[in-house]
Amino acid sequence: IIGGDKSLRGEWPWQVSLWLRSQSKGNHPLCGASLISPCWVVTAAHCFKRKYRSQGWEHDIALLRLKGTEGNCVAFNPHTGAVCLPEPGSRWEKRPAACVITGWGITDSEYSRTLLQAWVPLLPAWKCKKRYGDRFTSRMLCAGSLSERHRVDSCQGDSGGPLVCQGEGGRWVLTGVISWGHGCGNPSFPGVYTRVSRFLRWIDKVINKPYKT
Ligand code: 4AZ
């Protein structure tokens, strides 16, 4: 996270850190993610498929089912809980919304030891289309600070993590998944986020599908 500050313990109870187990390189952090229920986590598809990005950046969303019996995977408590999903068809960028990105990814030069947070303005789609052309689609959100003086952005290591916006009654809604962008913190190249509201039916289908163990 570029231009953010440290979060407090339990402030973003849905934030997940995905790690890769490696005996040769040692365990290391891979991506962010968000708890949407006790057994399901939303993240970015490119966290799992190395060549994902070269196939275009569309549909950069993945669901992980955690180990455990149904409904009993992660125990919720005041520091651990789920984030809300958006209403179908909601278009946050049309209203002035307060949105926040969080992650342990790169700050100035290295990964952060504490979870960082940053308020990030949602931008009209044309600001990303202008920079990224047709790679930026309606299944994506454009967000970031366009000011040289106050750069706010997500960066490597944050992807898969949440962009949450505060909805009615102060509820936090998982509006975007940190996905891609050209560099980090460059006011000419905003960050690009998977637009979660476009994947609600898919999420519902996957989660409510009976599964074999
Ligand atoms: C990345 O490499 C990445 N500035 C994530 C977000 C952004 C750029 C790169 C957006 O995971």
- ipTM more than 0.95? yes
Q: What is the pLDDT of residues 26-54, one digit of tens each?
A: 998 999 999 999 999 999 999 988 777 76
Task: Determine if ligand 1 sits within 6 Å of the CB of residue 14.
Answer: no
Whether the Cβ atoms of residue 124 and residue 141 lie closer than 8 Å to each other: no
pLDDT of 102 strictly over 90: yes
Residue 133 in contact with residue 192, Cβ under 8 Å? no
Q: Is the shortest distance between the CB of 60 and ligand 1 below 6 Å?
A: no
**Which of residues 89 and 182 earns the better pLDDT score?**
182
- The pTM (predicted TM-score) of the whole model is 0.95
Query: What tens digit of pLDDT does each residue of 132-165 get?
Result: 999 999 999 999 987 888 899 999 999 999 999 9
Closest residue to atom 2 of ligand 1, CA basis: 156
Give buried/exposed letters for 199-213 (b at 16+ CB in 10 A, else e): beeebeeeeeeeeee
Residue 93 pLDDT greater than 70, yes or no? no
pLDDT tens readout for residues 192-207: 999 999 999 999 999 9
Structure tokens at 57: 């950046």
Of 133, 136, 153, nearest to 144 (Cα)? 153
Q: What is the pLDDT of residue 210?
A: 75
CA angle 12, 69, 14 (to 5 degrees): 5
The whole-angstrom distance between residue 41's C-alpha and the CA centroid of its chain comes to: 11
Residue nearest to atom 1 of ligand 1 (CA): 156
Would you say the CB of residue 3 lies under 6 angstroms from ligand 1?
A: no
